[in-house]
Amino acid sequence: MTTWTEHTADRPITFSAPSGIDRSAHHRLDEAWLAAAWSHPTTRVFVVSGGQALIDDTPDGRTELIMTPSFEAPLTEAHRYYLGTDDEGVSYFALQKDSLPGRIDQSARPAGLREAGLLLSPRDAGLLVHAVALENWQRLHRFCSRCGERTVIAAAGHIRRCPACGAEHYPRTDPAVIMLVTDEEDRALLGRQVHWPEGRFSTLAGFVEPGESIEQSVAREVYEEAGVVVGDVEYVASQPWPFPSSLMLGFMARATSSEIQVDGEEIEEARWFSREDLRAAFESGEVLPPYGISIAARLIELWYGKPLPKP
């Protein structure tokens, strides 16, 4: 089997590359330290709203987050999230607002992770993933699940506390499995979801259920969606996926059956592809590759042996 590093070592999984940011979780409850970091002249801040932030293109061809010193940042009462500090001692904060600020030069544009994920540096992508994940959680979990009281933000955006019953609530992460299944002939199983455009095929995926191991989840999801029985399961890599709150766990899996029977609800069509089949389908336009932002593309490349064509 082709090894993961042969074809992808120089193409890290989006959102998973080392960002150079130390999250420094031990500072989140230190209000004096946070205040000093916020007021430091090197500190950088950006606004996140509805999963988007402002990005801009630099003269040298890079794309970066629009960040400002803290003294130029918009005012906010509570939604100020400490994201970490880099090796040079620069601290980064995100501000959650109802809308993004305007730009005098009008050169910046709003973008979400799907649009900007492949454009930003690992540092900026990592900061934006962290901020969007916190914003999603903060917007959807404002009330205590124990007593129903409105909760308050603590730990620089990483905890919500209930003033009534004292419960503490932490950001939610939903584990999901995503897998490339191959058969005895080393063909790959790819499927098309019902809401995808015609020709778009990718790996199968699904959420881990309560009381279930991730290996059991891989086998269950493949059988439920495509009717294929899975034997051996091998973990490959993970990817944060804040749409709104998932962690994608990537696997290679070996099928012990080959007959396909799709569920018709999530998966409308599934097919076995040899490498030659898939290359010909790409060239003819019959099959569209998955978007490069997803770990799905890396899993297919691991089997395919080279980078996929761009969507």
Q: Strands, DSSP E only, in the chain?
A: 21-22, 44-48, 52-57, 63-65, 68-69, 80-86, 91-96, 109-112, 152-154, 159-161, 168-169, 174-182, 188-193, 204-207, 230-241, 246-255, 267-273
Mean pLDDT by 10 residues, the chain (311 residues): 43 85 97 97 97 94 95 85 97 95 76 94 96 96 97 97 98 96 98 94 97 98 97 96 95 98 94 98 95 92 92 71
> Which pLDDT belongs to residue 104?
52
> Which pLDDT belongs to residue 105?
61
Q: Is the dihedral of CA 21, 26, 32, 34 positive or negative?
A: positive
> Which pLDDT belongs to residue 17?
85
C-alpha R_g of the chain = 22
> Which pLDDT belongs to residue 77?
65
